[in-house]
Amino acid sequence: MTDPVLQVEGLSVEYATEKGRVHAVTDLAMTLEEGEAIGLVGESGCGKTTVALALMRILADNGQIVNGKVLLDGVDLLQLSEEEMAKRRWSGISMVFQAAMNSLNPVQRVVDQIVEAIEQHEEVARSDAVERARELFDVVGLDGALLRRYPHEYSGGMRQRAVIAMALACSPRVIIADEPTTALDVLVQDRILDQLKEIQSRRRMAMIYISHDVGVIARVSTSVGVMYAGRMVETGPAHAIFKRPIHPYTEALLASVPSARGPRRPLRVLGGDPPDLIDLPPGCPFAARCSRVQERCRTEIPPVVRSESQWALCWNPVNAP
């Protein structure tokens, strides 16, 4: 087995707010091999976007990484100076955001934005950078003629493609995609997912794909990480997680999703709300909503139960690992 491209250990992130400290991410671990695509899934507020922002080191001012390591090819990103980190953004680890319009400068032609990103990281002639931008547009299925246009002249799907092209510009080792297709129509989403998946596997990039859409996660991921209240509660190969979840939350989440294919099974309704991240319960964060809750779940953080490739944090698993 090769060394992992990205290794996250014990990552904890907090936000300082008027009401107190929000424990957005707690003791999170994750490993990504070359060519692996992990899907991070969970309800809003579970911390999946915070993980991405922490890996990129672009947390909001009130956010703080209180613990952990983020090893990119063995180098801990959290120990780097801001200048050293800046060099690795785009080229080492890059990110596609949910709102494409916000990641494009509205008063600059798209070609200039991509070229600028390339020039910041490499010594290249402008003509070469433009040529690379053209190639990238081709890769994401955009007409090269669009390069000289402004973002507002693009449709939503085109913008999202342009942002993906930009994220690929410096051939990153790891690409993070945070719900890049949620605002798009299904047919457009379908095509972008195909392209993203194709590029990712051809370039052997590692990818973190963040979504609350379980169907999309199933489409793009080789492995899955299920987050709940800031913790990774289960992770493993995609086929194993979907077929035989260990954690009751994973099972409930999957059963609550309607599918257009296969038998029409009744939908599970998961009641209740996630816990307050300022005042987390002492035990398992899912205990209050869990159908398999036991007494100790409420008082003690559950242990890791694991098989060879899949693990979960649970006292009373649905399926034996």
Q: For another protein, which residue of 10, 20, 215, 303 counts as binding (CB under 8 A)?
A: 215
Q: Quick one: the chain helix, strand, coil %, rounded to 5?
A: 35, 25, 40
Contact pattern for another protein over residues 250 through 279, marking x by CB under 8 A? --xxx-xxxxxxx-x--xxxxx-x------
Beta pairing class for 223-228 and 231-237: antiparallel
In contact, 140 and 132? CB cutoff 8 Å: no
In contact, 59 and 12? CB cutoff 8 Å: no
Task: Kindly report each contact of residues 239-244 with a partner whose C-beta sits within 8 Å and lies 24 or more positions away, as own/partner.
Answer: 240/309, 240/310, 241/310, 242/218, 244/319
Helix, coil or strand: residue 228: strand
Cα first-last separation, the chain: 23
Q: From the CB of 260, what's the least distance to another protein, in Å?
A: 4
Query: Tokens at residue 111, please?
Result: 């070609």
Examine residue 219 and tell whether it contacts another protein (CB under 8 A).
Answer: yes
Q: From the CB of 252, what's the least distance to another protein, in Å?
A: 7
Contact pattern for another protein over residues 163 through 202, marking x by CB under 8 A? ----------------------xxxxxx--x---------
d(CA 127, CA 45): 44
CB-wise, 122 or 190, nearer to another protein? 190
Q: From the CB of 70, what's the least distance to another protein, in Å?
A: 27
Cα–Cα–Cα angle for 291, 292, 295, nearest 5°? 115
Q: For another protein, which residue of 216, 229, 290, 312 counts as binding (CB under 8 A)?
A: 216
What single letter denotes the amino acid at residue 208? I
Q: From the CB of 246, what's the least distance to another protein, in Å?
A: 16
Stretch binding another protein (CB under 8 A), from 90-98, 198-206, 239-247, 303-311: 239-247
CB-wise, 2 or 265, nearer to another protein? 265
Contact pattern for another protein over residues 4 through 43, marking x by CB under 8 A? ---------------------------------------x
For residue 159, how many other CB atoms are within 10 A of its CB? 22
Examine residue 152 and tell whether it contacts another protein (CB under 8 A).
Answer: no
Q: From the CB of 96, what's the least distance to another protein, in Å?
A: 18
CB-wise, 85 or 288, nearer to another protein? 288
Stretch binding another protein (CB under 8 A), from 19-27, 71-79, 213-221, 313-321: 213-221
Beta carbons within 8 Å of 318's beta carbon, 6+ residues apart? 245, 246, 247, 248, 250, 251, 292
- Applying CB under 8 A, the residues found at the interface with another protein are 43-44, 155, 157, 185-190, 193, 212-219, 221, 238-239, 242-243, 252-254, 256-262, 264, 267-271, 273
